[in-house]
Structure 1
Amino acid sequence: MLASAGGIAAALALWQVVAIGPMAGGPLPPVSLVLAQLAGLLAGGTFWAALAETLLIALAGLAAAAVAGVVLGVLIGSFEPFRYATLAVLEFLKPIPPIVILPLVVLVLGPTTQMSWFLVFFGCVLPIIMQTVAGVHDADPVTLDTARSYGLGRVEILGRVTLPSAMPFIGTAMRVAAPGALVITVVAGLLGGGPGLGLSIYQAQAGGDYPTLYAYVVVLGLLGLAFQGASRLAEGRLLHWHASYREVLPA
Protein backbone atom coordinates (compact mmCIF):
# COMPACT_ATOMS: atom_id res chain seq x y z
CA MET A 1 0.00 0.00 0.00
CA LEU A 2 2.75 2.41 0.97
CA ALA A 3 4.75 1.44 -2.12
CA SER A 4 1.74 2.17 -4.35
CA ALA A 5 1.20 5.56 -2.69
CA GLY A 6 4.89 6.34 -3.11
CA GLY A 7 4.76 5.43 -6.79
CA ILE A 8 1.75 7.70 -7.35
CA ALA A 9 3.43 10.56 -5.51
CA ALA A 10 6.63 10.12 -7.54
CA ALA A 11 4.67 10.08 -10.81
CA LEU A 12 2.81 13.29 -9.87
CA ALA A 13 6.06 14.97 -8.81
CA LEU A 14 7.69 14.03 -12.12
CA TRP A 15 4.67 15.38 -14.00
CA GLN A 16 4.89 18.67 -12.09
CA VAL A 17 8.62 19.04 -12.75
CA VAL A 18 8.27 18.31 -16.46
CA ALA A 19 5.28 20.64 -16.83
CA ILE A 20 6.97 23.62 -15.21
CA GLY A 21 10.40 22.81 -16.64
CA PRO A 22 11.12 21.38 -20.11
CA MET A 23 7.49 21.67 -21.27
CA ALA A 24 6.63 24.97 -19.60
CA GLY A 25 4.09 26.88 -21.66
CA GLY A 26 3.21 23.77 -23.68
CA PRO A 27 0.10 21.60 -23.80
CA LEU A 28 1.03 19.74 -20.58
CA PRO A 29 -0.31 21.74 -17.62
CA PRO A 30 1.15 21.42 -14.12
CA VAL A 31 -0.43 18.99 -11.69
CA SER A 32 -1.41 21.84 -9.39
CA LEU A 33 -3.41 23.51 -12.16
CA VAL A 34 -5.08 20.24 -13.18
CA LEU A 35 -6.11 19.49 -9.59
CA ALA A 36 -7.48 23.00 -9.19
CA GLN A 37 -9.49 22.57 -12.39
CA LEU A 38 -10.69 19.17 -11.15
CA ALA A 39 -11.96 20.75 -7.96
CA GLY A 40 -13.86 23.27 -10.07
CA LEU A 41 -15.42 20.48 -12.13
CA LEU A 42 -16.52 18.62 -9.01
CA ALA A 43 -18.30 21.74 -7.80
CA GLY A 44 -20.37 22.06 -11.00
CA GLY A 45 -23.50 20.21 -12.07
CA THR A 46 -22.39 19.73 -15.69
CA PHE A 47 -19.63 17.33 -14.68
CA TRP A 48 -21.93 15.19 -12.58
CA ALA A 49 -24.52 15.00 -15.35
CA ALA A 50 -21.86 13.83 -17.82
CA LEU A 51 -20.54 11.31 -15.28
CA ALA A 52 -24.04 9.95 -14.68
CA GLU A 53 -24.61 9.55 -18.43
CA THR A 54 -21.32 7.71 -18.82
CA LEU A 55 -22.04 5.33 -15.95
CA LEU A 56 -25.60 4.68 -17.12
CA ILE A 57 -24.55 3.84 -20.68
CA ALA A 58 -21.62 1.66 -19.60
CA LEU A 59 -23.57 -0.30 -16.98
CA ALA A 60 -26.70 -0.69 -19.12
CA GLY A 61 -24.68 -1.91 -22.10
CA LEU A 62 -22.67 -4.28 -19.90
CA ALA A 63 -25.81 -5.69 -18.25
CA ALA A 64 -27.53 -6.30 -21.58
CA ALA A 65 -24.38 -7.92 -22.97
CA ALA A 66 -24.13 -10.17 -19.90
CA VAL A 67 -27.70 -11.44 -20.23
CA ALA A 68 -27.52 -11.94 -23.99
CA GLY A 69 -23.98 -13.36 -23.86
CA VAL A 70 -24.76 -15.97 -21.21
CA VAL A 71 -28.02 -17.07 -22.84
CA LEU A 72 -26.48 -17.34 -26.30
CA GLY A 73 -23.31 -18.94 -24.93
CA VAL A 74 -25.29 -21.65 -23.16
CA LEU A 75 -27.35 -22.33 -26.28
CA ILE A 76 -24.30 -22.45 -28.54
CA GLY A 77 -22.33 -24.60 -26.12
CA SER A 78 -25.16 -27.02 -25.39
CA PHE A 79 -26.62 -27.64 -28.84
CA GLU A 80 -24.33 -28.66 -31.68
CA PRO A 81 -26.69 -27.54 -34.52
CA PHE A 82 -26.94 -24.08 -32.96
CA ARG A 83 -23.17 -23.96 -32.57
CA TYR A 84 -22.49 -24.80 -36.22
CA ALA A 85 -25.15 -22.35 -37.37
CA THR A 86 -23.53 -19.44 -35.51
CA LEU A 87 -19.84 -20.37 -35.63
CA ALA A 88 -19.04 -18.53 -38.88
CA VAL A 89 -20.90 -15.39 -37.79
CA LEU A 90 -19.15 -15.25 -34.41
CA GLU A 91 -15.72 -15.87 -35.91
CA PHE A 92 -16.38 -13.07 -38.41
CA LEU A 93 -17.50 -10.57 -35.73
CA LYS A 94 -14.94 -11.52 -33.06
CA PRO A 95 -11.92 -9.57 -34.44
CA ILE A 96 -13.96 -6.43 -35.25
CA PRO A 97 -13.46 -3.77 -32.54
CA PRO A 98 -16.35 -1.39 -31.78
CA ILE A 99 -14.42 1.63 -33.05
CA VAL A 100 -14.41 0.13 -36.57
CA ILE A 101 -18.20 0.13 -36.80
CA LEU A 102 -18.58 3.46 -34.98
CA PRO A 103 -19.00 5.56 -38.18
CA LEU A 104 -21.74 3.23 -39.42
CA VAL A 105 -23.55 3.21 -36.08
CA VAL A 106 -23.37 7.01 -35.87
CA LEU A 107 -24.77 7.21 -39.39
CA VAL A 108 -27.72 4.99 -38.43
CA LEU A 109 -28.43 6.11 -34.86
CA GLY A 110 -26.76 9.51 -34.75
CA PRO A 111 -24.69 10.87 -31.82
CA THR A 112 -27.15 9.56 -29.25
CA THR A 113 -27.31 7.51 -26.09
CA GLN A 114 -28.58 4.57 -28.16
CA MET A 115 -25.48 4.74 -30.34
CA SER A 116 -23.15 4.59 -27.34
CA TRP A 117 -25.18 1.81 -25.73
CA PHE A 118 -25.07 -0.31 -28.87
CA LEU A 119 -21.30 0.04 -29.17
CA VAL A 120 -20.85 -1.03 -25.53
CA PHE A 121 -23.17 -3.98 -26.09
CA PHE A 122 -21.33 -5.00 -29.26
CA GLY A 123 -17.93 -4.71 -27.64
CA CYS A 124 -18.86 -6.75 -24.55
CA VAL A 125 -21.27 -9.43 -25.76
CA LEU A 126 -18.91 -11.42 -28.00
CA PRO A 127 -16.23 -12.10 -25.33
CA ILE A 128 -18.96 -13.14 -22.89
CA ILE A 129 -20.46 -15.51 -25.46
CA MET A 130 -17.08 -17.08 -26.18
CA GLN A 131 -16.20 -17.53 -22.53
CA THR A 132 -19.61 -18.99 -21.74
CA VAL A 133 -19.25 -21.50 -24.56
CA ALA A 134 -15.82 -22.46 -23.23
CA GLY A 135 -17.27 -22.89 -19.74
CA VAL A 136 -20.11 -25.08 -21.00
CA HIS A 137 -17.62 -27.31 -22.83
CA ASP A 138 -15.47 -27.50 -19.68
CA ALA A 139 -18.20 -29.27 -17.72
CA ASP A 140 -16.92 -32.59 -16.35
CA PRO A 141 -18.27 -35.43 -18.54
CA VAL A 142 -18.32 -37.80 -15.57
CA THR A 143 -20.47 -35.39 -13.60
CA LEU A 144 -22.80 -34.98 -16.56
CA ASP A 145 -23.13 -38.75 -16.97
CA THR A 146 -23.76 -39.14 -13.26
CA ALA A 147 -26.50 -36.51 -13.37
CA ARG A 148 -28.16 -38.30 -16.29
CA SER A 149 -27.93 -41.65 -14.51
CA TYR A 150 -29.85 -40.15 -11.59
CA GLY A 151 -32.63 -39.18 -13.98
CA LEU A 152 -32.02 -35.43 -14.07
CA GLY A 153 -33.57 -33.70 -17.07
CA ARG A 154 -31.77 -31.36 -19.43
CA VAL A 155 -32.95 -28.24 -17.61
CA GLU A 156 -31.90 -29.61 -14.22
CA ILE A 157 -28.48 -30.58 -15.56
CA LEU A 158 -28.12 -27.11 -17.03
CA GLY A 159 -28.90 -25.46 -13.70
CA ARG A 160 -27.02 -27.82 -11.41
CA VAL A 161 -23.99 -28.88 -13.45
CA THR A 162 -23.41 -26.89 -16.64
CA LEU A 163 -23.94 -23.34 -15.37
CA PRO A 164 -21.92 -23.83 -12.15
CA SER A 165 -19.10 -25.21 -14.29
CA ALA A 166 -19.28 -22.21 -16.62
CA MET A 167 -19.55 -19.54 -13.90
CA PRO A 168 -15.77 -19.00 -13.45
CA PHE A 169 -15.45 -18.46 -17.20
CA ILE A 170 -18.38 -16.03 -17.17
CA GLY A 171 -16.92 -14.23 -14.15
CA THR A 172 -13.60 -13.74 -15.95
CA ALA A 173 -15.39 -12.42 -19.03
CA MET A 174 -17.35 -9.92 -16.93
CA ARG A 175 -14.23 -8.76 -15.10
CA VAL A 176 -12.51 -8.07 -18.42
CA ALA A 177 -15.60 -6.54 -20.02
CA ALA A 178 -16.39 -4.08 -17.20
CA PRO A 179 -13.46 -1.68 -17.81
CA GLY A 180 -13.95 -2.22 -21.55
CA ALA A 181 -17.54 -0.97 -21.27
CA LEU A 182 -16.26 2.27 -19.74
CA VAL A 183 -13.60 2.71 -22.42
CA ILE A 184 -16.08 2.13 -25.25
CA THR A 185 -18.53 4.62 -23.73
CA VAL A 186 -15.84 7.28 -23.59
CA VAL A 187 -14.67 6.54 -27.14
CA ALA A 188 -18.26 6.77 -28.37
CA GLY A 189 -18.47 10.27 -26.93
CA LEU A 190 -14.98 11.32 -27.96
CA LEU A 191 -15.18 10.19 -31.59
CA GLY A 192 -18.91 9.76 -32.16
CA GLY A 193 -20.37 12.69 -30.26
CA GLY A 194 -22.30 10.51 -27.81
CA PRO A 195 -23.22 11.95 -24.40
CA GLY A 196 -20.98 11.63 -21.37
CA LEU A 197 -17.41 12.30 -20.35
CA GLY A 198 -16.05 11.45 -23.80
CA LEU A 199 -17.93 14.39 -25.31
CA SER A 200 -16.69 16.63 -22.48
CA ILE A 201 -13.10 15.61 -23.25
CA TYR A 202 -13.60 16.38 -26.94
CA GLN A 203 -15.03 19.81 -26.15
CA ALA A 204 -12.12 20.62 -23.83
CA GLN A 205 -9.61 19.50 -26.46
CA ALA A 206 -11.32 21.43 -29.24
CA GLY A 207 -11.36 24.56 -27.12
CA GLY A 208 -7.69 24.22 -26.14
CA ASP A 209 -8.62 23.93 -22.45
CA TYR A 210 -5.84 21.54 -21.50
CA PRO A 211 -6.19 21.74 -17.69
CA THR A 212 -9.84 20.66 -18.03
CA LEU A 213 -8.85 17.97 -20.53
CA TYR A 214 -6.31 16.46 -18.14
CA ALA A 215 -8.74 16.79 -15.23
CA TYR A 216 -11.20 14.62 -17.14
CA VAL A 217 -8.40 12.14 -17.89
CA VAL A 218 -7.66 11.88 -14.16
CA VAL A 219 -11.35 11.25 -13.49
CA LEU A 220 -11.47 8.51 -16.10
CA GLY A 221 -8.37 6.87 -14.64
CA LEU A 222 -9.97 6.78 -11.20
CA LEU A 223 -13.24 5.57 -12.68
CA GLY A 224 -11.43 2.76 -14.50
CA LEU A 225 -9.82 1.65 -11.24
CA ALA A 226 -13.23 1.70 -9.57
CA PHE A 227 -14.76 -0.43 -12.35
CA GLN A 228 -11.91 -2.92 -12.16
CA GLY A 229 -12.06 -3.15 -8.38
CA ALA A 230 -15.84 -3.50 -8.29
CA SER A 231 -15.81 -6.24 -10.92
CA ARG A 232 -13.11 -8.17 -9.04
CA LEU A 233 -15.01 -7.85 -5.77
CA ALA A 234 -18.29 -8.95 -7.37
CA GLU A 235 -16.56 -11.90 -9.04
CA GLY A 236 -15.04 -13.04 -5.76
CA ARG A 237 -18.29 -12.66 -3.81
CA LEU A 238 -20.46 -14.44 -6.36
CA LEU A 239 -18.00 -17.29 -6.89
CA HIS A 240 -16.79 -17.71 -3.31
CA TRP A 241 -17.98 -21.33 -3.42
CA HIS A 242 -15.60 -22.23 -6.26
CA ALA A 243 -12.25 -23.80 -5.35
CA SER A 244 -10.23 -21.30 -7.37
CA TYR A 245 -11.71 -18.35 -5.40
CA ARG A 246 -11.67 -19.63 -1.84
CA GLU A 247 -8.09 -18.60 -1.13
CA VAL A 248 -8.26 -15.14 -2.71
CA LEU A 249 -11.59 -13.99 -1.22
CA PRO A 250 -10.93 -11.25 1.35
CA ALA A 251 -11.98 -12.05 4.90
Structure 2
Amino acid sequence: MKNFWRTLAGIALLILLWQIAAVRLNKGILVPAPSDTLRLMARNFTSLEMLLAAWQTAWKVFVALALAILLGLPLGLLLGLSDGAYHLLRPLIMTVQAVPVISWLSLVIFTWGVGWRGPVFISFLSLFPLAVLTTVAGVHDLDKGLLEMARLYRVPAGKVLREIHLGSLLPFIAAILDVSVGQAWKVVLVAEYLCGGDGLGEAILTARMNVDVPAVWALTLGAVLLGLLSEALIKSIARRFQAAWTRS
Protein backbone atom coordinates (compact mmCIF):
# COMPACT_ATOMS: atom_id res chain seq x y z
CA MET A 1 0.00 0.00 0.00
CA LYS A 2 2.89 2.32 0.83
CA ASN A 3 4.37 1.78 -2.64
CA PHE A 4 1.00 2.61 -4.20
CA TRP A 5 0.90 6.01 -2.52
CA ARG A 6 4.52 6.65 -3.45
CA THR A 7 3.68 5.91 -7.07
CA LEU A 8 0.75 8.33 -6.94
CA ALA A 9 3.02 10.96 -5.40
CA GLY A 10 5.53 10.42 -8.21
CA ILE A 11 2.80 10.84 -10.84
CA ALA A 12 1.56 14.00 -9.12
CA LEU A 13 5.11 15.41 -9.08
CA LEU A 14 5.51 14.63 -12.77
CA ILE A 15 2.24 16.40 -13.63
CA LEU A 16 3.26 19.40 -11.50
CA LEU A 17 6.61 19.72 -13.29
CA TRP A 18 4.82 19.32 -16.62
CA GLN A 19 2.40 22.14 -15.72
CA ILE A 20 5.28 24.42 -14.68
CA ALA A 21 7.07 23.73 -17.97
CA ALA A 22 3.86 24.43 -19.92
CA VAL A 23 3.46 27.82 -18.21
CA ARG A 24 7.09 28.89 -18.57
CA LEU A 25 7.92 27.60 -22.07
CA ASN A 26 6.19 29.99 -24.48
CA LYS A 27 2.88 29.80 -22.61
CA GLY A 28 2.07 26.26 -23.66
CA ILE A 29 3.12 26.52 -27.30
CA LEU A 30 6.03 24.08 -27.06
CA VAL A 31 4.71 22.21 -24.02
CA PRO A 32 0.90 22.11 -23.80
CA ALA A 33 -0.74 21.88 -20.39
CA PRO A 34 -1.40 18.39 -18.99
CA SER A 35 -5.17 18.94 -18.97
CA ASP A 36 -5.18 20.00 -22.64
CA THR A 37 -3.01 17.04 -23.63
CA LEU A 38 -5.17 14.54 -21.75
CA ARG A 39 -8.34 15.99 -23.26
CA LEU A 40 -6.92 15.81 -26.78
CA MET A 41 -5.60 12.29 -26.18
CA ALA A 42 -9.04 11.13 -25.02
CA ARG A 43 -10.65 12.65 -28.10
CA ASN A 44 -8.05 11.14 -30.43
CA PHE A 45 -8.21 7.63 -29.02
CA THR A 46 -11.99 7.47 -29.16
CA SER A 47 -11.93 7.97 -32.94
CA LEU A 48 -11.96 4.92 -35.19
CA GLU A 49 -9.03 6.22 -37.25
CA MET A 50 -6.74 6.54 -34.22
CA LEU A 51 -7.84 3.21 -32.76
CA LEU A 52 -6.90 1.55 -36.05
CA ALA A 53 -3.53 3.35 -35.97
CA ALA A 54 -2.93 2.11 -32.42
CA TRP A 55 -3.81 -1.44 -33.51
CA GLN A 56 -1.42 -1.20 -36.47
CA THR A 57 1.43 -0.28 -34.11
CA ALA A 58 0.46 -2.80 -31.42
CA TRP A 59 0.39 -5.86 -33.70
CA LYS A 60 3.81 -4.95 -35.10
CA VAL A 61 5.16 -4.75 -31.54
CA PHE A 62 3.76 -8.16 -30.59
CA VAL A 63 4.95 -9.83 -33.81
CA ALA A 64 8.48 -8.49 -33.35
CA LEU A 65 8.49 -9.52 -29.69
CA ALA A 66 7.18 -13.01 -30.48
CA LEU A 67 9.79 -13.52 -33.20
CA ALA A 68 12.60 -12.38 -30.91
CA ILE A 69 11.49 -14.78 -28.16
CA LEU A 70 10.72 -17.76 -30.40
CA LEU A 71 14.02 -17.49 -32.30
CA GLY A 72 16.23 -16.03 -29.59
CA LEU A 73 15.50 -18.55 -26.84
CA PRO A 74 16.41 -21.72 -28.80
CA LEU A 75 19.55 -20.09 -30.20
CA GLY A 76 20.51 -18.79 -26.75
CA LEU A 77 19.98 -22.25 -25.27
CA LEU A 78 22.19 -23.78 -27.98
CA LEU A 79 24.94 -21.20 -27.48
CA GLY A 80 24.75 -21.61 -23.72
CA LEU A 81 25.24 -25.36 -24.00
CA SER A 82 28.01 -25.17 -26.62
CA ASP A 83 31.04 -22.96 -25.97
CA GLY A 84 32.25 -23.53 -29.53
CA ALA A 85 29.00 -22.29 -31.07
CA TYR A 86 28.89 -19.38 -28.61
CA HIS A 87 32.36 -18.08 -29.53
CA LEU A 88 31.64 -18.65 -33.22
CA LEU A 89 28.37 -16.67 -33.32
CA ARG A 90 28.97 -14.11 -30.57
CA PRO A 91 30.75 -11.59 -32.88
CA LEU A 92 27.80 -11.71 -35.29
CA ILE A 93 25.25 -11.20 -32.50
CA MET A 94 27.25 -8.34 -30.98
CA THR A 95 27.52 -6.71 -34.41
CA VAL A 96 23.74 -6.88 -34.90
CA GLN A 97 23.30 -5.38 -31.45
CA ALA A 98 25.77 -2.55 -32.12
CA VAL A 99 24.41 -1.40 -35.49
CA PRO A 100 22.38 1.83 -34.99
CA VAL A 101 18.66 1.71 -35.70
CA ILE A 102 19.04 4.47 -38.29
CA SER A 103 21.39 2.25 -40.33
CA TRP A 104 18.88 -0.60 -40.35
CA LEU A 105 16.20 1.91 -41.35
CA SER A 106 18.21 2.99 -44.37
CA LEU A 107 18.71 -0.60 -45.51
CA VAL A 108 15.03 -1.42 -44.97
CA ILE A 109 13.87 1.58 -47.00
CA PHE A 110 16.20 0.60 -49.84
CA THR A 111 15.01 -3.01 -49.71
CA TRP A 112 11.27 -2.86 -48.98
CA GLY A 113 10.31 0.79 -49.17
CA VAL A 114 7.34 1.91 -47.10
CA GLY A 115 5.25 -0.70 -45.28
CA TRP A 116 4.84 -2.88 -42.22
CA ARG A 117 7.87 -5.11 -42.80
CA GLY A 118 10.40 -2.41 -41.95
CA PRO A 119 9.14 -1.65 -38.41
CA VAL A 120 8.71 -5.35 -37.59
CA PHE A 121 12.15 -6.31 -38.93
CA ILE A 122 13.99 -3.44 -37.23
CA SER A 123 12.24 -4.03 -33.91
CA PHE A 124 13.06 -7.74 -34.15
CA LEU A 125 16.74 -6.96 -34.78
CA SER A 126 16.84 -4.66 -31.75
CA LEU A 127 15.33 -7.36 -29.47
CA PHE A 128 16.91 -10.53 -30.86
CA PRO A 129 20.47 -10.07 -29.47
CA LEU A 130 19.03 -9.27 -26.03
CA ALA A 131 16.94 -12.45 -26.07
CA VAL A 132 19.91 -14.58 -27.16
CA LEU A 133 22.49 -13.16 -24.76
CA THR A 134 20.12 -13.15 -21.76
CA THR A 135 19.28 -16.80 -22.43
CA VAL A 136 22.99 -17.64 -22.67
CA ALA A 137 23.54 -15.95 -19.30
CA GLY A 138 20.67 -17.99 -17.87
CA VAL A 139 22.15 -21.26 -19.12
CA HIS A 140 25.57 -20.37 -17.69
CA ASP A 141 23.88 -19.57 -14.37
CA LEU A 142 22.40 -23.07 -14.05
CA ASP A 143 23.18 -25.04 -10.91
CA LYS A 144 25.84 -27.48 -12.10
CA GLY A 145 25.04 -29.70 -9.12
CA LEU A 146 21.56 -30.35 -10.51
CA LEU A 147 22.98 -31.33 -13.87
CA GLU A 148 25.51 -33.65 -12.24
CA MET A 149 22.78 -35.26 -10.16
CA ALA A 150 20.63 -35.73 -13.28
CA ARG A 151 23.52 -37.48 -15.01
CA LEU A 152 24.19 -39.60 -11.94
CA TYR A 153 20.58 -40.82 -11.79
CA ARG A 154 20.34 -41.11 -15.59
CA VAL A 155 17.43 -38.72 -15.93
CA PRO A 156 16.18 -38.66 -19.55
CA ALA A 157 17.60 -35.81 -21.65
CA GLY A 158 14.13 -34.48 -22.46
CA LYS A 159 13.23 -34.21 -18.80
CA VAL A 160 16.56 -32.52 -18.01
CA LEU A 161 15.89 -29.97 -20.75
CA ARG A 162 12.36 -29.26 -19.52
CA GLU A 163 12.75 -29.45 -15.75
CA ILE A 164 16.25 -28.04 -15.29
CA HIS A 165 17.22 -25.96 -18.30
CA LEU A 166 13.87 -24.42 -19.24
CA GLY A 167 12.66 -24.27 -15.64
CA SER A 168 15.76 -22.35 -14.58
CA LEU A 169 15.43 -20.01 -17.56
CA LEU A 170 11.95 -18.76 -16.65
CA PRO A 171 13.24 -15.81 -14.55
CA PHE A 172 15.54 -14.83 -17.40
CA ILE A 173 12.66 -15.02 -19.89
CA ALA A 174 10.69 -12.73 -17.58
CA ALA A 175 13.67 -10.34 -17.59
CA ILE A 176 13.74 -10.38 -21.40
CA LEU A 177 10.05 -9.48 -21.53
CA ASP A 178 10.50 -6.81 -18.86
CA VAL A 179 13.08 -4.98 -20.97
CA SER A 180 11.84 -5.81 -24.46
CA VAL A 181 8.24 -4.57 -24.45
CA GLY A 182 9.08 -0.89 -23.97
CA GLN A 183 12.02 -1.17 -26.36
CA ALA A 184 9.77 -2.72 -29.02
CA TRP A 185 7.25 0.12 -28.78
CA LYS A 186 9.97 2.76 -29.11
CA VAL A 187 11.64 1.13 -32.11
CA VAL A 188 8.37 0.43 -33.95
CA LEU A 189 7.22 4.03 -33.45
CA VAL A 190 10.54 5.41 -34.74
CA ALA A 191 10.45 3.04 -37.72
CA GLU A 192 6.86 4.04 -38.56
CA TYR A 193 7.85 7.69 -38.27
CA LEU A 194 10.78 7.31 -40.68
CA CYS A 195 9.64 4.43 -42.93
CA GLY A 196 6.01 5.45 -43.21
CA GLY A 197 3.11 3.04 -43.24
CA ASP A 198 0.08 2.99 -40.96
CA GLY A 199 0.42 3.38 -37.19
CA LEU A 200 0.94 5.86 -34.38
CA GLY A 201 4.43 6.73 -35.61
CA GLU A 202 2.97 7.85 -38.94
CA ALA A 203 0.27 9.82 -37.07
CA ILE A 204 2.97 11.61 -35.06
CA LEU A 205 4.78 12.42 -38.32
CA THR A 206 1.58 13.90 -39.78
CA ALA A 207 1.07 16.03 -36.65
CA ARG A 208 4.67 17.25 -36.86
CA MET A 209 4.30 18.18 -40.53
CA ASN A 210 1.15 20.14 -39.65
CA VAL A 211 3.04 21.85 -36.79
CA ASP A 212 0.38 20.52 -34.42
CA VAL A 213 2.42 20.39 -31.20
CA PRO A 214 -0.49 19.43 -28.89
CA ALA A 215 -1.32 16.48 -31.17
CA VAL A 216 2.32 15.31 -31.03
CA TRP A 217 2.19 15.36 -27.23
CA ALA A 218 -1.23 13.68 -27.10
CA LEU A 219 -0.19 10.90 -29.48
CA THR A 220 3.08 10.39 -27.64
CA LEU A 221 1.31 10.16 -24.28
CA GLY A 222 -1.18 7.70 -25.76
CA ALA A 223 1.64 5.54 -27.12
CA VAL A 224 3.36 5.58 -23.71
CA LEU A 225 0.18 4.49 -21.94
CA LEU A 226 -0.44 1.73 -24.48
CA GLY A 227 3.13 0.54 -23.99
CA LEU A 228 2.70 0.44 -20.22
CA LEU A 229 -0.61 -1.42 -20.52
CA SER A 230 0.83 -4.01 -22.90
CA GLU A 231 3.85 -4.44 -20.63
CA ALA A 232 1.58 -5.05 -17.62
CA LEU A 233 -0.51 -7.53 -19.65
CA ILE A 234 2.52 -9.49 -20.85
CA LYS A 235 4.03 -9.56 -17.35
CA SER A 236 0.76 -10.90 -15.94
CA ILE A 237 0.63 -13.65 -18.57
CA ALA A 238 4.29 -14.51 -17.94
CA ARG A 239 3.71 -14.77 -14.17
CA ARG A 240 0.74 -17.10 -14.67
CA PHE A 241 2.71 -19.22 -17.13
CA GLN A 242 5.63 -19.45 -14.71
CA ALA A 243 3.32 -20.45 -11.86
CA ALA A 244 1.62 -23.10 -14.01
CA TRP A 245 5.02 -24.44 -15.15
CA THR A 246 6.21 -24.65 -11.54
CA ARG A 247 3.10 -26.58 -10.49
CA SER A 248 3.32 -29.06 -13.39
Q: TM class, shorter-chain normalised? A: 0.7 to 0.9
TM-aligned CA distance change 1:219 to 1:144, over 3 Å: same
Work out whether 1:207 is the aligned partner of 2:210: yes
TM-aligned CA distance change 1:25 to 1:88, over 3 Å: closer
Work out whether 1:138 is the aligned partner of 2:160: no
Q: Which residue of 2 aligns with 1:74?
A: 77
TM-aligned CA distance change 1:165 to 1:2, over 3 Å: closer
- Answer whether contact 2:94 2:129 (CA < 8 A) is retained: no
- Answer whether contact 1:134 1:166 (CA < 8 A) is retained: no
What residue identity is the alignment partner of 1:226? L
Q: How many Å apart are 1:133 and its aligned residue? A: 1.0
Q: How many Å apart are 1:57 and its aligned residue? A: 0.1
| Structure number having the greater helix percentage | 2
For 2:142 and 2:16, the matched residues in 1 are separated by: 51
Tell me the SS of whatever aligns to 2:124. helix
What residue identity is the alignment partner of 2:111? V
Q: Which residue of 2 aligns with 1:229?
A: 232
For 1:80 and 1:11, the matched residues in 2 are separated by: 47
> Over residues 168-216 of structure 1, what are the superposed CA-to-partner deviations in whole Å (9 max), with x where a residue is unaligned?
1122112111111111111111222243101111110111111111110
Q: How many Å apart are 1:55 and its aligned residue? A: 0.5
What residue identity is the alignment partner of 2:36? L
Q: Which residue of 2 aligns with 1:100?
A: 103
TM-aligned CA distance change 1:189 to 1:40, over 3 Å: same
Q: How many Å apart are 1:21 and its aligned residue? A: 5.0
Q: Which residue of 1 aligns with 2:154?
A: 151
Q: Which residue of 1 aligns with 2:112?
A: 109
- Answer whether contact 1:90 1:126 (CA < 8 A) is retained: yes
- Answer whether contact 1:197 1:216 (CA < 8 A) is retained: yes
For 1:10 and 1:134, the matched residues in 2 are separated by: 38
- Answer whether contact 1:106 1:192 (CA < 8 A) is retained: yes
1:22-101 correspondence to structure 2 within 5 Å: 22-24=25-27, 26-101=29-104
For 2:179 and 2:69, the matched residues in 1 are separated by: 12
- Answer whether contact 1:188 1:194 (CA < 8 A) is retained: no
Q: Which residue of 1 aligns with 2:164?
A: 161
Work out whether 1:178 is the aligned partner of 2:181: yes
- With the length of structure 1 as denominator, give the TM-score of the two structures: 0.87
Work out whether 1:125 is the aligned partner of 2:108: no
What residue identity is the alignment partner of 1:116? P
TM-aligned CA distance change 1:39 to 1:169, over 3 Å: closer
**Unaligned stretches of 5+ residues in structure 2:** none
Please tell me the root mean square deviation across aligned C-alpha atoms, in Å.
Answer: 2.3
TM-aligned CA distance change 1:103 to 1:162, over 3 Å: same
Q: How many Å apart are 1:18 and its aligned residue? A: 4.1
Q: How many Å apart are 1:241 and its aligned residue? A: 7.8
Higher deviation after alignment, 77-86 or 214-223? 77-86
**Unaligned stretches of 5+ residues in structure 1:** 244-251
